[in-house]
Amino acid sequence: MPDRDPAPRRGRPAADAHPAAPGPGRRRFVGLAGATAGLGALSALSAHPALAAPPAGPAPHGPHPVPARRIGAYHWDRQPGQIGDFAEWINSPVYYAEDFLLRDSWASLAGAGRLSSWQDTPWARRMVWAAYPFPDGQGDLVQAAAGVYNSHYADLAGNLVRAGMGNAVLRFGHEFNGNWYPWSPANDPNGVAAGETDFAAAFRQFATTVRAVPGAHFTLVWNPVPGQSGIDLTRCYPGDAYVDLVGIDIYDQDWNVYSPGVPPTEALRERAWQDLRTDPHWGIDMIAAFAASRNKRLAVPEWGVWWDKVGHGGVDNAYFVQQMFDWMNANDVAWNVYFNVYASDGNHDLYDTYLFPEASARFQRLWNPSGRLPRPRPVSAGTLHPSGAPGPTAYPPGTAVVAAHTGSFSQPSGTRARPYGDPWAEEGTLASLIRAGAGTPPEVSYPDAPAAEVLMLRYECPVDGDVYLSVYVDGVKAAGQVRMPAVDRTRPTEYAMVTVPVHVPAGATVTVRIDPDDDHTVSGGVWDYVNLDTIGFAAQGAAG
């Protein structure tokens, strides 16, 4: 899977159809701040210094007592802080961070716009990079096979070495046997058969070039995907001298077994797993056997559960998670990377225990046997609306606190509004609002609200630009352009609080929505989103 989602924010920017209102057993009011040791007194984040960085020394490819636990993570581009978060979530070091080079120019293919975000971080010597034969619309496999682009490959290698990433793992032309990338043999100007040999030759050109750069100690991964007919992988193989590992990207997606409109049963999930393994068009067992015949170890550079709007995924599939763990152990996989994002074509985010409760719990049981989970993040900063001056970072005593995800959601077309899991939220679940474009914004409402003169919103900080909210009381706009300051995308997950003067009569309905006049758009792939954790209803002056 590429970094193909148009929205690199952590807000998981694909709209789905899961609006939810408070149901039986859900707690709307958490309690009064200061009255108990609850939300008002935020738990201090446990220090995990050993989890913030990967293990010291070169990345291991040798024996491991539980190979599947040599796991890396992908969590959107340029987000090293999120890799540390993933390590905290599994209470274990993460062996690799993964990212994708941009594909819009040769400068991007040489690392522009990407390497600097990882340079001088603990992950610089633990990187897995997707590298490409040529930029989109600016080349073809014929030229790559002939060595025309070798100077650009040398530029990438030199930039990696200078950035402290001379031992990076490089996935050249990953998922080449699919038809969705321009470097697929299916897109070769001379036809598929020529494309197969051209890809192999292009891989040899790349390998020879990058290995010749002083200071280079790269690991090169030949990385097909399973279940793709029409392309002969044996003809695409560049030769043992050019390949260090054979990679397979594996997702719980199956167009033969899962059908739109048919909820995935356990029987279907078992059939889908068998289909994934035994597909005659290069199932994962067939690729594993080919790797063994070449005396090459396996890696799994991408894998994940799958939910999509089309209906070809197993959704909350704990069986798939278990089978992946067992299969990777049985095949002594060198390492694997979990693709922990909500991408535009599918959701794989196991933080989201609202959509994936069983799969997330099974993953935790297998990769975090300690059972230790993150504590809620303390608020790092507070602001006052409308001045923007520094504000409180905790609810004052007597504040009525509501869990934001227990509201009633409205999600017009092109938006998403629903509960969304997050390990650092107070109750592990947020109210997530996402808007794509200039249409009607999504919202969440809280009927029968307690009386208040001040609303205090604890939220997960957005990245890539501030987001603005509006607050309505009984349908009347009470506050607009409520600024939710963003944080640098390279940082770990942060929570902040904004204090808004709003008169709320007892029993009123309070609605929070993304501001219709939000000054951010989707141009350049940026989506408007905010994830609310808790909402405090405070008396006048109590917020200071």
- The full set of domains in the chain, from first to last, is 67-367 (3.20.20.80), 399-520+527-538 (2.60.120.260)
pLDDT digits (tens, 9 = 90+) for 7-36: 222 222 233 333 333 332 333 567 777 653
pLDDT band at 396 (very low <50, low <70, confident <90, very high): very high
Closest CA to 398 of 453, 447, 445: 453
Question: Which residue's structure tokens are 């991964």?
Answer: 221
Omega prior to 386 cis, within 30 of 0: yes
Taking 70 as the threshold, does the pLDDT of residue 130 lie above it?
yes
Average pLDDT over residues 215-220: 98
The pLDDT of residue 167 is 98
3-state secondary structure of 400: strand
The pLDDT of residue 32 is 73
The pLDDT of residue 540 is 73
Q: What is the dihedral of CA 191, 233, 202, 244, to 10 degrees?
A: 170
CA distance 542 to 535: 14
Residue type, 491: R
CA distance 199 to 314: 32
Average pLDDT over residues 201-205: 99
The pLDDT of residue 33 is 74
Q: What DSSP letter does each residue of 321-341 carry, written as one string?
A: HHHHHHHHHHTT-S-EEEE-S
Q: What is the dihedral of CA 386, 388, 389, 395, to 10 degrees?
A: 70
Taking 70 as the threshold, does the pLDDT of residue 75 lie above it?
yes
pLDDT digits (tens, 9 = 90+) for 474-525: 999 999 999 999 999 999 999 999 999 999 999 999 999 998 766 544 444 4
Is residue 449 within 8 A of residue 510, CB to CB? The reply is yes
Closest CA to 247 of 291, 281, 209: 291
Q: What DSSP letter does each residue of 205-249 carry, written as one string?
A: HHHHHHHTSTT---EEEE---SS--S--HHHH---GGG-SEEEEE
CA distance 45 to 176: 43
Please give the residue that has the higher pLDDT: either 33 or 225. Answer: 225
Average pLDDT over residues 42-54: 43
Lowest mean pLDDT among 53-62, 179-188, 377-386: 53-62
Lowest mean pLDDT among 24-28, 142-146, 269-273: 24-28
Taking 60 as the threshold, does the pLDDT of residue 246 lie above it?
yes
- Catalytic (active-site) positions: 175, 302
CA distance 241 to 296: 11
